[in-house]
Structure 1
Amino acid sequence: MSHFRRSGPPDISDTYSLLILNITFRTTADDLYPLFGNYGKVVDVFIPRDRRFTI
């Protein structure tokens, strides 16, 4: 059995994205990892720092 990973994009079939609004500008990724880590593995956190950022 090979221990090499297959090439290509990562499997994202069991991942989800969340939009969290109304958090303080002092909030960091380190604050959010443990909070949401209770519900599953947190892969990435993006916190826009520009107040003009829109989705």
Structure 2
Amino acid sequence: MGGVSRTMVDILLEQGHPVRAFVRQDDERAHSLRQAGAEVCPHPAGEAERLRQAG
């Protein structure tokens, strides 16, 4: 996750907003997002239908 994206996730969570993060790999960065309180949705790039269903 890029620095700006992670900063935004942290700001939103601190303000009490729910955050859903779409990630390509369920790795350490995804784990870090979960620990911060975000809902993590792993998906391979290009799975547009799965994104629509999650939305």
Query: TM-score scaled by structure 2?
Result: 0.28
The structure, 1 or 2, with the larger RCO (C-alpha pairs under 8 Å, 6+ apart) is 2
Bigger radius of gyration among the two: 1
Which structure features the higher share of helix residues? 2
